[in-house]
Structure 1
Amino acid sequence: MAELKERIMDSALELFERHGYHGVSVNQIVHHCNASKGGFYHYFHSKDELLYVIHDTFITYVLDKANQAKEKYDTPTEQLQAIVHSFVRVFDLYKSHISVFYQESTYLKPDYEEQIKKKRDQFKQNIFEVVQEGQEQGEFRAELPPKIAGMAILGMVNWTYKWYRKNGEKSIDDISTIFVDIILHFLLTNEAMEKDAYQQYLLKHMVSDTWA
């Protein structure tokens, strides 16, 4: 039955991208994926809830990955590089979900919108906290305001939605590696930059040892 839920979501994503949220009915969705209305309402109380689940899927993914990174890694630098990698990859894994989010987010019901906002704020706070912890431990430059540095990271990565193409010159992993390099170069202190443990996250090391 879980396969049916995925089919319904995939059809909804395709139809919402093509016709817009209000241009698609439940009947069209179930017809597109060869399901029944009963099957639809088994998983979703309404089309509004379906739109919420589409939004929630990728936001929950990046939030879970950020929480896992903070638990798995000991240092802020390691935590941040893992968070950025998973954040960038979401634009490949959930490209259609994100496209629908940007197109149709204004149609979310207030209670659903509040739940999405809560998770987005939690993810944002994770980044702010990691940056601040990096400064307190002497790994990140103390002169950078943590919230502005965090918003710069969020803004840069979020813009990937506008230009990333699956068949582009660089793979999503290549792009995430480039972003990590850019972010660490503006955050790391000179002393932290020289640490052998962090050299593996920098592009020069990757090019010479892996991509050559």
Structure 2
Amino acid sequence: MTSLKQSIIDASLSLFKEHGYNGVTVNQIVQHAGTSKGGFYHHFTSKDELLYEIHDVFISYVLKNAKTAYHDYHTPITRLVAILRTFTEVFHTYQAHIIVFYEESQSLLGDERTLIKAKRDEYRKLLQRVIEEGQTCGDFRKVLPPIIVTMSITGMINWTYKWYKQDGTLTMQQITAIFIDMILRGIVTKQGEQEASLYFLHEPEL
């Protein structure tokens, strides 16, 4: 059974996606959720706090899974693959959150925006550390600046929210495999190629 708090979040996600954060009122949210203002303010002090909660749920989930992936694997290549998989899977699981996350981040209040930015930066630094570790051990090409590699990866994957369709011709798992293939082929050295090749896509036989 869905809790009232979750019903309010689900209603706001639907409305924010359709009308934008600034185009939706608390009255519209409670009407859509089938509750009252009292029910809303029992869980949230304001619409601003609700928006922060939506952002925080998503980025906290992504960061937690990235940290788990980092500690569960022990080579830069397997760590990178695991982190990418945990990142892309949320585009299916939290698709509505992601749309609001990227479209409405500028609507967050100053302190709340700072908190979310800190978690986004922590995620980026973890990913960059994996790239740097791969360069140190010789698996990733040292000619590529780690910050540029990191920003390129996050930029490519972040944009998925604009075009990914849950009922599209490719599943998120298939799309992730394509991302991993492109990224690894672009950054691995001859030394790292054997391990990385386990994640390469193979051309169909003629």
The alignment's TM-score, normalised by the length of structure 2, stands at 0.93
Structure-1 separation of matches of 2:22 and 2:163: 26
For residue 189 of structure 1, what is the aligned residue in structure 2?
189
Deviation at 1:158, TM superposition (A): 1.1
For residues 194-209 of structure 1, the aligned pairs below 5 Å read 194-195=194-195, 198-204=196-202
Deviation per CA, 1:26-63: give whole Å up to 9, x if none. Answer: 12211211122232222211110000111112111111
Structure-1 separation of matches of 2:77 and 2:109: 38
> Are 1:5 and 2:5 matched, yes or no?
yes
For residue 46 of structure 1, what is the aligned residue in structure 2?
46
Letter in 2 for 1:201: Y
For residue 74 of structure 1, what is the aligned residue in structure 2?
74
Change (3 A) 1:2 1:42: farther
Structure-2 separation of matches of 1:142 and 1:16: 43
Worse-matched range after superposition: 136-145 or 108-117: 136-145
Structure-1 separation of matches of 2:189 and 2:144: 11
Letter in 2 for 1:161: Y
Structure-2 separation of matches of 1:137 and 1:6: 46
Deviation at 1:141, TM superposition (A): 1.1
Letter in 2 for 1:128: Q
Structure-2 separation of matches of 1:189 and 1:94: 34
- What are the ranges of 5 or more consecutive residues in structure 2 without an aligned counterpart? none
> Are 1:146 and 2:146 matched, yes or no?
yes
Q: Secondary structure at the match of 1:97?
A: helix
For residues 1-212 of structure 1, the aligned pairs below 5 Å read 3-195=3-195, 198-204=196-202
Deviation at 1:106, TM superposition (A): 1.8
Worse-matched range after superposition: 89-98 or 116-125: 89-98
Q: Secondary structure at the match of 1:88?
A: helix
Deviation at 1:2, TM superposition (A): 6.7
The alignment's TM-score, normalised by the length of structure 1, stands at 0.90
Deviation at 1:23, TM superposition (A): 2.1
Change (3 A) 1:108 1:54: same
Worse-matched range after superposition: 22-31 or 165-174: 22-31
- What are the ranges of 5 or more consecutive residues in structure 1 without an aligned counterpart? none
